[in-house]
Amino acid sequence: MLPPPAWPIDFRTTLLRATLYVLFIGGIAQGAYLEAIYLPSVRFTELGFTEFTQTVILATCCLMLIYVRHVLKVWPTITLLLLAFIAASLVREQDYFFDEYIARNTWKVVVSLIVIPSIVWVVIQRRRFIEEFACYSNTFAFGLFAAGVLTTYVFSRLYGRQIFWRAVLEDNYVREFKDVAEEVVELLGYSLILFATLELLLLALRIHKARRVAN
């Protein structure tokens, strides 16, 4: 269920959130800039600011979703599916470490172990999922999440195509340009997913509070 009109978000709160989101986006952009200047040996690699921040963002999203699902107990099938998706993304971002220190393609096995059982459970609970999605799809959190997914998994992939950057740079093509463009856009997309997860958490807190008042 959605929280009743008695629990609105006032303009001041909305403005505060928007300001914090703007500052965060500005911060990661500045961080990528400083990474390029001061971390030349690891910039835009798994050990650099951009990829490390991606990992932190995804891990934070996972923790928030676990809290929403297991503590607040709001929309359990929706949050399970979101958690599986983001956890799989987190594992995928660690592919270098899995390949280097465990075995090649290990991350694919881990992702499968996360995603397949989650999808099976959601299918089993499909009626509940449809009911929850009817509420979730009408929230600001869903809009932000959709924007983050489109940015990360569609636009960044197309924008980071080698053929595109070869056409842009021609004889001056260097792979690093392509990698930087793709990774920074990915970071932006993950940031939108972070905002979406935070909005979901705040909404879940309101729903939880409304339930307690009702009882």
The model's confidence at residue 214, banded by pLDDT at 50, 70 and 90, is confident
Q: How many CB atoms lie within 10 A of CB 158?
A: 10
Distance between CA 67 and CA 15 in Å, rounded? 25
Q: Look at residue 100 and tell me whether its pLDDT is greater than 80.
A: yes
Q: Look at residue 103 and tell me whether its pLDDT is greater than 70.
A: yes
- Specify the pLDDT at position 123: 96
Q: Look at residue 5 and tell me whether its pLDDT is greater than 50.
A: no
* 74 close to 68: Cβ distance less than 8 angstroms: yes
- Whats the size of the chain, residue-wise? 215
- Specify the pLDDT at position 6: 42
The model's confidence at residue 174, banded by pLDDT at 50, 70 and 90, is confident
Helices (H), ranges, the chain = 11-38, 49-67, 76-93, 95-101, 106-124, 126-136, 140-150, 156-159, 162-169, 175-214
Q: Look at residue 59 and tell me whether its pLDDT is greater than 70.
A: yes
Query: And the tokens for 31?
Result: 């961080």
Query: And the tokens for 57?
Result: 């963002």
Question: What is the residue-averaged pLDDT of the chain?
Answer: 92
- Nearest Cα residue to 79 out of 214, 175, 208: 208
Q: Look at residue 31 and tell me whether its pLDDT is greater than 90.
A: yes
> pTM to 2 decimals?
0.92
Quick one: average pLDDT of 64-78?
A: 97
* 197 close to 62: Cβ distance less than 8 angstroms: no
Quick one: average pLDDT of 83-112?
A: 92
Q: Is 178 left (phi over 0), alpha (psi -120 to 50) or beta?
A: alpha
Condensed to tens digits (0 to 9), the pLDDT of residues 133-170 reads 999 999 999 999 999 999 999 999 999 999 999 999 88
- Specify the pLDDT at position 110: 95
- Specify the pLDDT at position 8: 62
Instruction: Please provide residue 142's backbone torsions phi and psi, each rounded to the nearest 5 degrees.
Output: -65, -40
Quick one: average pLDDT of 201-215?
A: 87
Quick one: average pLDDT of 104-130?
A: 95
Quick one: average pLDDT of 50-62?
A: 97
Look up residue 88 and give its DSSP letter: H
Q: Look at residue 70 and tell me whether its pLDDT is greater than 50.
A: yes
**DSSP track, 125-187:** THHHHHHHHHHHTTSHHHHHHHHHHHIIIIIHHHHT-HHHHHHHHGGG--HHHHHHHHHHHHH
Distance between CA 80 and CA 184 in Å, rounded? 28
